[in-house]
Amino acid sequence: MSKAEIIVKGEYHSSRGDHTHEREILTEGVDHLIIEGPEEKAEYRLFQQWYAFAMLLIEYLFFRVFYTDSSVLEDIAKAQDAEVVKTRESDAAILENSHILVRVFAAVLFLIMFFGAALFGIAGLHFYGVSLLILSAMVPPLILRIHESTRSSESRNEMMAEKIATAAEKGGRIVAVVGDSHADDLCDHLPESINPERKDPKYPWYAWQHIKDIAYPTFVFVSVLWVFYTVFVAYSELAWNMT
């Protein structure tokens, strides 16, 4: 194996402190950047459309509001002619790599919660409806992510460790930026010959600095979600009256 320096940086995806720290790490030099995200846009089959819609809601209502911009890290790496490796082929991989029973459970849960949100809105219980709507978009995909990350073989953390090991064979400075919940398990899956430098988040998720990071995004999230739900209820009532 070629000589390699490996850094595994655990982060909170909404932390500006982590984002700044990661930029500093990359400007010190990088040959391979391994970062969470899809390599390409997902293509969903017919019975996967519920998941496609849930991911669309999460993307525009949550990820784009709270998550820091990882493209900045990719730009820094590419400016140094570094190889940028994403941790999964597409967002559909999370669904496809899950057990069939987990997929069915997640799909049924989504449908129950989604249509329940519409019924709450029609009944005038908007607070319960908007809460159930966001839960319908977040809980079923979260169940799939947890299952994919914790299963005994070919887990997400194991696959990320394989990408680091592959990059290590080429040598150079390797920086892997992953959610802090993945970092320790990922390191445990690395071959014994690899001794990574583990870097923790700059501050805990409950720290005042992080609360300040998410304060404005939270306001934007609630505002956009409420507007979306108002439109959602209007169309639900229209469909209800036409039946």
177 is a domain residue: no
Provide the residue range defining the domain that includes 208.
11-164+203-242
76: Cβ contacts below 8 Å, ≥ 6 apart: 23, 26, 27, 30
pLDDT at 75 (0 to 100): 96
pLDDT in tens, 75-102: 999 999 999 999 888 888 888 888 899 9
Q: Could you tell me if residue 33 is inside a domain?
A: yes
> Would you say residue 198 lies in a domain?
no
Residue 49 lies in a domain: yes
How do residues 175-207 score in pLDDT, each as one tens digit? 999 999 999 999 999 998 888 999 999 999 999
User: Is residue 190 situated within a structural domain?
Assistant: no
Output the pLDDT for position 99: 86
Is 104 inside any structural domain? yes
pTM for the whole structure: 0.85
Contact 41, 204 (CB under 8 A): no
Give the span between the Cα atoms of 114 and 191, in whole angstroms.
Answer: 43
Asked whether residue 56 is assigned to any structural domain, the reply reads yes
Residue 181 lies in a domain: no
From the list 85, 84, 73, the residue with the least C-alpha distance to 27 is 73
**Total domains, the chain:** 1
Q: Which residues of 150-164 are buried (b: 16+ CB within 10 A; e: fewer)?
A: ebeeebbbbbbbebb
- Per-residue pLDDT of 31-70, as tens digits, reads 999 999 888 888 888 889 999 999 888 888 888 899 999 9
